[in-house]
Amino acid sequence: MKHDAILVLDFGGQYCNLIARRVRELKVYSEIVPCDMTAEEIKQLNTTMTVKGLILSGGPWSVYEEDAPKFDPKILELGIPILGLCYGHQMIAYYSKGKVKPGTKKEYGIAHVMVDKAVGVLKGLDSKEKVWMSHGDTVYGLPEEFEMLAYTESCPIAAFRHKTNSIYGLQWHPEVVHTENGMQMLRNFVFEVCKCEPNWKPESVVDKAIKEIKEIVGNGTAIIGLSGGIDSSVATFMAAKALGERLLAIYVDHGFMRLGETEYVESTFKNLGVNIIAIHAQDRFMKRLEGVIDPEEKRKIIGEEFIRVFEEAARKIAADYLIQGTIYPDRIESGFRKHSDTIKTHHNVGGLPEDIEFKKIIEPLRDLYKDEVREVAKIMGLPNELVTRQPFPGPGLAVRIIGELTKEKTDLLRKADKIVTDEIENVGLGDCLWQYFAVLTETKSTGVKGDSRAYGFTIAVRIVESKEAMTAGFARIPYDVLEKISTRITNELPQVTRVVYDITHKPPATIEWE
C-alpha cells in the first residue's frame, strides 16, 4: 500500500529534521529530500508514495547570497500544496516577485504574531499567537496573487498564502515547542490543506522491508553485521524473517565491546533461531589502530576493517549482499544532507570504503528514527530486554577512549562501564534514560589512595536523556547514585583517581565523546 507523504526540502536549517519528525507524529509519512530536487524527480517519487505536500525548510541563508541554495521554481506549478518556513517563506516570496528586505542582523526568539486571517494553515488560531522566530531577511511586500495572513512588529508579512493555489509561508518555526500552537499549524497543513490520511505507522516498514530484502536477494545469500544494539538486532530479525537460513548474522568482536556482550548476543540470537557466528578479531583491529588518535580516523579505520572482516566471511559462504541496521539519524549526521555539516562519521555509513565487494548494501531501517525502531521491535516480538537496551555505537568503546587505544585502557574502561551500567540499572533508572556509560579521558590527575599519593586516570560518566539522539540532555541523576558509581570505580579500579560527571547537553556536545 502506498502512503501519503509530505516531503521536506532541506535547505540546511537546524530544525529540518524536526519538521519530518513532527509530521510523522501525525501518522503521516515524511521524508527529508535535497532542496534542489526537481519537479520531475518529485513526480517520480509517486511510484513508491503519494506526495501530498512539500515543506520548504529554514536555512542559514539570505535569499540575496550568491551561493544560497535554490529550489526548482517548477515545484510551485506542480499543484501540490507547499508550506515555506522561515528561509522557505522568504524564498517563495522572492521567487514570486514579492519584496524581501535583506537582514542586517539575525533576530531570534519568541515573538507574538497578530493573526489577521485565521484560515488554511492558521485555521482555528487566536488573533495573537506566541511563536519562535529566527530570521535575517524579512518579507515586506507581496504580489497581487498573494495575501498577508499575519504580522508582527518587525515583520509586516509574517505569514501569507496564495489566493488560489495552496501555497503558504510562515516566517516562524511551527516545528519547535516554543511555538505554542505549532502542532496545530502543522496539523492544518497536513490534513486541512494537503488532505493526507493519517495511516502511516513505523511498523508499516516491516512488510515493505521484508519484501524488499526478498526481492533484492532473490535466491542468493546475505550477511548482516550484528552488533547487538537495537538497530542491527531489528534489522537482523527482519532479514532472518525474509531469508531464513540464507542469512548469516556476523557478530564481530573488534575488542571494544562491553563486558559479556559477545556471549549475550550469541546466545540471544541463537535462541531466536537466527543463523549467527561470532568472529573474534580483536588483534587485527588493535594492530590497525595503533598510534591513531584522531577520532574520525579511528571511526574510518574501524568502519573499513568491519567491511573487510565481513567480506572475508561473506566469501566463505558466497554471500552477495550486506544488510545493515543504519537508521535515519545516522545518515543525517554522516552528512548526506547537502547543506549541513558532517558532525561525525558513523561507522556504518560514512566509514564505508569505496571499493566494496558486495553487489549491494541493503538498509531496511534507513527511514526510521530510533524510537520508531523500538516500536517496530516490539511489534515484531523481540524480547523486551533487547528492545529496551541502550544504543551502543558501532565502533564501541573505541570512541569512548580519548587518544591512543591500548588493550589495558580498553579493559579498564570495560570494567568502569559495567559499574555505571549496573548501578543505574540496580536503582531502576535504565528504562528512562537514553544512554549511560563511562568514558576514559586523556587527563591524568593526582589523588590519594591509602596514605600515599596516586596519579591516575580520570573517568567521565555520561548519562543522557533523549528521544532520538538528535538532541539530548544530561540526566539529573540523584547524587547518591553518582556517589556510588564514583566510589565503586575508584575502589575497584586502582588506576583511576578521579571520576567526573558530564553536564553538557547535545548540542553543543555530542552524546559520545568522539
Q: Are 128 and 78 in contact (CB under 8 A)?
A: no
**Interface with ligand XMP, residue 138, by CB under 6 A:** no
Integer angstrom CA distances of residue 346 from 198, 252, 379, 431: 32, 17, 27, 25
* Cell reading at 113: 504574531
Q: Are 433 and 418 in contact (CB under 8 A)?
A: no
Q: Write down the catalytic residue from 86, 155, 194, 196.
A: 86
Nearer to ligand XMP, 331 or 488 (CB): 331
Nearer to ligand XMP, 391 or 403 (CB): 391
**Interface with ligand XMP, residue 469, by CB under 6 A:** yes
Rounded CA gap, 514 and 508, in Å?
A: 13
Give CA angle at 164 (161, 169), nearest 5°.
15
Exposure letters 252-277 (e unless 16+ CB within 10 A, then b): bbbbbbbeebbebbbebbeebebbbe
Rounded CA gap, 134 and 152, in Å?
A: 13
Nearer to ligand XMP, 157 or 365 (CB): 365
Task: Specify the 3-state DSSP secondary structure of 230.
Answer: helix
Size of the site for ligand XMP (CB under 6 A): 16
Beta pairing partners, 132? 110
Binding range to ligand XMP, per CB under 6 A, among 5-13, 40-48, 174-182, 346-354: 346-354
Interface characters, 273-312, with ligand XMP (x: CB under 6 A):
--------------------------x-------------
Nearer to ligand XMP, 69 or 395 (CB): 395
Does 175 participate in catalysis according to the annotation? Answer: yes
CB of 249 vs ligand XMP, minimal distance in Å: 16
| DSSP per-residue string spanning 340-387 | S------TTTTT--SS--SSEEE-TTTT--HHHHHHHHHHTT--HHHH
Binding range to ligand XMP, per CB under 6 A, among 39-47, 115-123, 195-203, 503-511: 503-511
Task: Specify the 3-state DSSP secondary structure of 162.
Answer: strand
Q: Write down the catalytic residue from 135, 173, 254, 339.
A: 173
Q: Find the binder of ligand XMP among 348, 458, 486, 490 (CB under 6 A).
A: 348
Does 432 participate in catalysis according to the annotation? Answer: no
Q: Write down the catalytic residue from 89, 135, 175, 333.
A: 175
Residue type, 199: N
Q: Are 466 and 472 in contact (CB under 8 A)?
A: yes
Binding range to ligand XMP, per CB under 6 A, among 17-25, 213-221, 373-381, 393-401: 393-401
**Interface with ligand XMP, residue 331, by CB under 6 A:** no
Rounded CA gap, 427 and 483, in Å?
A: 13
**Interface with ligand XMP, residue 340, by CB under 6 A:** no
**Interface with ligand XMP, residue 3, by CB under 6 A:** no
Does 35 participate in catalysis according to the annotation? Answer: no
Q: Are 437 and 259 in contact (CB under 8 A)?
A: no
Give the HSE-up count for residue 324: Cα atoms under 13 Å, Cβ half-sphere: 25
Nearer to ligand XMP, 246 or 298 (CB): 298
Nearer to ligand XMP, 228 or 394 (CB): 394
Q: Are 400 and 445 in contact (CB under 8 A)?
A: no
CB of 364 vs ligand XMP, minimal distance in Å: 15
Nearer to ligand XMP, 4 or 512 (CB): 512
CB of 264 vs ligand XMP, minimal distance in Å: 17
CB of 504 vs ligand XMP, minimal distance in Å: 11
**Interface with ligand XMP, residue 333, by CB under 6 A:** yes
Give me the residues that bind ligand XMP (CB under 6 A), please: 299, 333, 344, 346-348, 391, 393-395, 435, 469, 506, 510-512
Which residues are part of the catalytic machinery? 86, 173, 175
